């Protein structure tokens, strides 16, 4: 059985009620739920939350909330893997025979169904424990700089200061959208980044929404792409 787990706690600090705040006319969490449902990959699309309002809205958009997330897994410091592991265990107690889980973050208005499908194919054909989308850094990290207290700049990697950008190894970062994983890996608390394979996606589809300014910028981009028929 394949399930999608959307972790959506209620205590967002930087953007209050972020997971259900209206984004381009719909609750933010609805984009993750709709992508999961429309992919037709999952036997169940569930939301793991400690918040009754989030649970209610999630159900309105077609997700299931078969259990409530405990408080000790709902603070600012709880990592993703233990939350998903708890969801797996709770689903097993219901009687679901779960073997593959995709954790989809709730703040991903640019997530695409096709990427969810590609990620599963990679997991099924790969020995890795996880698969997640990555994007190429827009600038070579080997040429990164830091600023000293007196304002002068200094290279982080002096050995690459004179190396041509095209001669440097490509580097990627986690797009922060979703993580396909095998049940055994989630339950064993395996590190996602150390045990995962990457699915490269375009940089323009990666938007990190942590502040209200990020939110406004993302909404503008979403509306532009919507007019062009690309969302």
Question: Model confidence over 52-64: pLDDT tens digits?
Answer: 999 999 999 999 9
The pLDDT value given to residue 167: 94
**Measured between alpha carbons, how far is 40 from 37 in angstroms, rounded to an integer?**
6
Q: What is the rounded average pLDDT for all residues in the chain?
A: 95
Give the long-range contacts of residues 18-26, CB within 8 A, separation 24 or more: 18/106, 18/107, 18/209, 19/49, 19/54, 19/106, 19/107, 20/53, 20/54, 20/57, 21/215, 23/109, 23/215, 23/218, 23/219, 23/222, 24/109, 24/219, 24/222, 24/223, 24/226
> At residue 225, does pLDDT exceed 90?
no
Burial 117-141 (b: 16+ CB within 10 A, else e): ebbbebbeeeebbbbbbbbeeeebb
pLDDT value, residue 11 = 81
What would the pLDDT profile of 205-214 be if each residue is shown by its tens digit? 999 999 999 9
pLDDT at 12: 81
pLDDT at 203: 94
Q: What is the mean pLDDT of residues 185-202?
A: 97
pLDDT reported for residue 14: 85
pLDDT band, very low/low/confident/very high, at 119 (cuts 50, 70, 90): very high
What value does the mean pLDDT take over residues 129-156? 96
User: For the residues 33-39, what does the mean pLDDT come to?
Assistant: 98
Residue 230's pLDDT band, with cuts at 50, 70 and 90, is confident
Per-residue model confidence (pLDDT) at position 49: 97
- Counting residues of the chain whose pLDDT is more than 90, the rounded percentage is 93
Residue with the larger pLDDT of the pair 104 and 228:
104
Query: Does domain 2-132+174-206 match CATH 3.90.550.10?
Result: yes
pLDDT at 20 over 80: yes
pTM of the entire structure? 0.94
Domain ranges of the chain: 2-132+174-206
How much of the chain, in percent, has pLDDT values that exceed 70?
100
pLDDT at 80 over 90: yes
């Amino acid at each position: 059985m394949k399930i999608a787990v959307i972790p959506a706690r209620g205590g967002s600090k930087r953007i209050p009620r972020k997971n259900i705040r209206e984004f381009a006319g719909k609750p933010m969490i609805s984009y993750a739920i709709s992508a999961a449902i429309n992919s037709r990959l999952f036997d169940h699309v569930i939301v793991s939350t400690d918040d009754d309002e989030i649970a209610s809205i999630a159900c309105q958009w077609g997700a299931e909330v078969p259990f409530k997330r405990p408080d000790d897994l709902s603070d600012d410091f709880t990592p993703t893997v233990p939350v998903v592991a708890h969801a797996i265990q709770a689903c097993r107690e219901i009687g679901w025979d779960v073997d593959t889980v995709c954790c989809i973050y709730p703040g991903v208005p640019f997530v695409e169904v096709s990427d969810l499908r590609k990620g599963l194919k990679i997991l099924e054909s790969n020995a890795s424990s996880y698969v997640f989308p990555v994007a190429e850094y827009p600038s070579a990290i080997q040429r990164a700089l830091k600023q000293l207290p007196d304002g002068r700049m200094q290279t982080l990697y002096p050995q690459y200061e004179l190396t041509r950008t095209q001669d440097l190894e490509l580097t990627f970062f986690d797009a922060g959208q979703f993580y396909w994983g095998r049940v055994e890996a989630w339950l064993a608390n395996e590190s996602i980044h150390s045990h995962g394979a990457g699915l490269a996606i375009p940089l323009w589809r990666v938007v990190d929404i942590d502040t209200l300014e990020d939110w406004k910028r993302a909404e503008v981009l979403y509306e532009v792409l919507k007019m062009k028929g690309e969302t």
